[in-house]
Structure 1
Amino acid sequence: MPVVPLRHYGRWLAAAVLLVVLAGLVVSMITNPRFKWEIVLQYLLDDSIISGLLMTIWLTIAAMAIGIVLGTAIALMRISENPVLASVASGYLWVFRGTPLLVQLIFWFNLSALYPQITLGFPFGPSLGNFDANQYITVYVAALLGLGLNEGAYMSEIVRSGLNSVPVGQREAAEALGMSNFRVMWRIILPQAMRVIIPPTGNQLIGMLKTTSLVSVIALQELLYSAQLIYSANFQTIPLLIVASIWYLVLTTVLSIGQYFLERHFGRSDRRTAMVPSDDVTDASAQIVGSA
């Protein structure tokens, strides 16, 4: 019998409606003089905006690096059989996931009100040195502490879920071959866990890019704060916000493309498995069993 394809009239109708709405929105944005696109183009490559853009990129990379390293360490502590390490990791998550990031940023910025002098050493022993909090906890350090420590709490759960996704038999087989714990984790567990870790990590990186705008409350001149400084002087609020939004969209697009290729790289084993016919897999398994 001839196969008659289904006619999805509802889909085409919905697509047509969306296209009409989108066309109307684009025409409205172009023809509305209040958008002031000439001012947008004027400030798109302004030195102050580019300086804030570079600061945003630097904050994103540095905070994510801190978050990934710290999150990996906290995840390993969470799955450790040592109750002290597991308790410390759980307490860390309780504090940094339980309070808003904005509050943490303001707290780190005003740390000198609690500890004017930071002492390194033992609680009841000799100290290794004293440091002036106002001198060393600058606005840059406060931003990195707030963003990095907060991100470490969320990255730890991502890494832990990736590690738990690897079957226990993988570790047992590697240990049976005499591999050390570090080698098992580095060569066996982590490469397989990366397929689960990469997608949410990419989302966290994109989220971090936008979250850096919160450091404007502590007067760090990133992209949004640079735009705020300009429109507070010339009162062109909407055009400057559009400039900041355009740059955020550009950076987000670049990061999304990078995430796509990373996912392809770490998911290549799945594609290879899908390309092998099931009969070939069965024959290969039978040959292995027979040779054994």
Structure 2
Amino acid sequence: MLPSLCVRFDFRCCTISIVMVNHGVATELMKGMKDYAQKFFELPLEEKNKIAIPPNDIQGYGHSHSDQILDWSDKLVLIVHPHHYRKLEVWPATPFKEAIEAYSSEVKRVGEELLRFMSLIMGMEKDAFLGLHQELVQPMSVAYYPQCYLPDKVLGLGPHSDKGTIGILMQEDDVTGLQIKHEGKWVPIKPIPDTLVVNVGDMMEIWSNGKYKSIEHRVVTNESKARISCSTFYLPRHDVEIEPLDQMVLESPGSLPMYKKVKYGDYLRQTKHMRFEGKAHVIKVAKLNW
């Protein structure tokens, strides 16, 4: 049974951010994740550094890329699925570890249901998108945004779009931080308790031939309150080749593909150093110019 979807922003089916209700993830599980994350980030730095991100890796505590030092945030980044990608030596201790395990399993179920839903609305068999991924990879980023006394000067996370297929965000119930870009303006996504926010990623934009465009978004800081968020992403395997689906090309003006074929791992490597360019990396790496 598909979760209920409340479309918060539907800009003519081009740029969408979805607020999901009745998703089936227990309120207690969501609250536990945020509570344990709060306790983890309040630990002394020497304790958190015991699971720091190793050189030339992305998993662990800290920042996955050196250019992120400009972000006003603290992060724990893990690959939670498939299990053979896990590096348990950089997972936090119990009980936070068990909360991550339980929450990520539930959100994986939701993500798979969403991909089945997208398969159906794009005219395919319900498991087609899962098959296109060949192996659904699920990273998780738990972020802590401390209070900032100069919120107009510092961003919690700079403008970007997610480089995977979809992303699912759990945010605080009472602290607004996420903003999406629409017609050149930043629109805040006001939190609704017990909901999850779904953002379209770059791979969905390419597969849909631009019908569903990835969301350019950012996180702003708050002067009076800290904020916890948990983002889960769904990615294809690195060797998967992504290109517009035939049926989506036929629905496009002139029946032309708007994006070239790209191997997902190559796309990640080419866009790695374009982080401060918002969504420009999609155009530079994958867009075709007719």
Please tell me whether Structure 1 or Structure 2 has the larger radius of gyration of its CA atoms.
1
Greater relative contact order structure (CA < 8 Å, 6+ sep): 1
Q: Same fold by TM-score, threshold 0.5 exceeded? A: no
Q: Which structure shows the higher helix fraction?
A: 1
Q: Which has the higher strand share?
A: 2
